[in-house]
Amino acid sequence: MENNHGKNKRIFMTILVHLFLIILVLIIVLPMCWLFLNSLKTNQEMFRDSIALPAVPRFENWINAWNKGLYNYFLSSLITSAMSIAGILLLSSLLAYGLTRLNLPGSGIFFIIVLGGMALSEQVALVPLFKMIQALGLYNTRLAVVLPYIAFRIPFTMFLLRSYFLGIPKELEEAAILDGATTLQIFYRIVLPISRPVLASAAIVNLNFVWNEFLFANIFLEDRKLMTIPLGLMTFQGDLKSDYVTMLAGILIASMPMVIMYLCMQKQFVRGLTSGAVKG
């Protein structure tokens, strides 16, 4: 009887967990489905019944959204994201490797100081950042957002990479030293290739932040050619006050890169995060 009771309890808990996960999936998927359906309708169809299927799918709404300026914001986001992710991964990996392998004096204190950056709020730092960017002559340039993105994402990324690097056997590096490899050669030829899963995880997490960041872009950028997707969509919506379906198509296009990237790299993303968490 006790075995049957325990078995029934496990089955009941499993059903509850699956129901909870299904509800979470529906909360995420249903708005995306609604957005997709209405981006293929006319404005009249959307206001008549926003849940119904479109009479004739109007894929030209996506083309109109792209041609009405969305491609400028999309291209700007791609350039800004590429520069930011490259800087974040490069500096964070070098910092994490130095803290785990070089055994420099005061490295523990330095690690705590850098990690403390995770507690710094963007809103709190906004005024001094604005003054610094103006003083450096970077206002309304791409570096005005790229540099803060890199600075604010280094603490978390360094912490994630450091946890992973600690799990890499030192024997590999010792063997490379015996073969005459320098510290930089060991880093680029041994450590980085082994760390691809956690680097992919860090890239996805940081890309999600950079791609959707609005505050810095709104404060530091004025030129439309430099505006990223979140800021561009705000002006895009203002330009299309009466053309709602084209606006919805633009929002859908802006969200697709992150969805596609995660679907393509989900295995590496999960493996990198779990490896970093366990090894830390």
pLDDT tens string 44-98: 888 888 888 888 888 888 988 888 888 888 899 999 999 999 999 999 999 998 8
Q: Which residues contact 229 (CB under 8 A, 6 or more apart)?
A: 73, 74, 76, 77, 211, 212, 254
Distance CA 163, CA 45 (A): 53
Q: What per-residue confidence (pLDDT) applies to 163?
A: 85
Q: What per-residue confidence (pLDDT) applies to 206?
A: 92
Q: Which residues contact 276 (CB under 8 A, 6 or more apart)?
A: 160, 161, 163, 164, 198, 201
Q: Could you report the per-residue pLDDT of 212-222, keeping only the tens digit for each? A: 899 999 999 98
Which DSSP state fits 68?
I
pTM of the full structure: 0.82
* Residue 170 near residue 102 (C-beta atoms within 8 A): no
* Residue 73 near residue 217 (C-beta atoms within 8 A): no
What CATH architecture is 69-279?
A: Orthogonal Bundle (1.10)
Q: What per-residue confidence (pLDDT) applies to 116?
A: 83
Residue segments in the chain with a per-residue pLDDT below the cut of 70? 1-6, 237-242, 266-280
* Residue 232 near residue 253 (C-beta atoms within 8 A): no
Q: What per-residue confidence (pLDDT) applies to 280?
A: 44
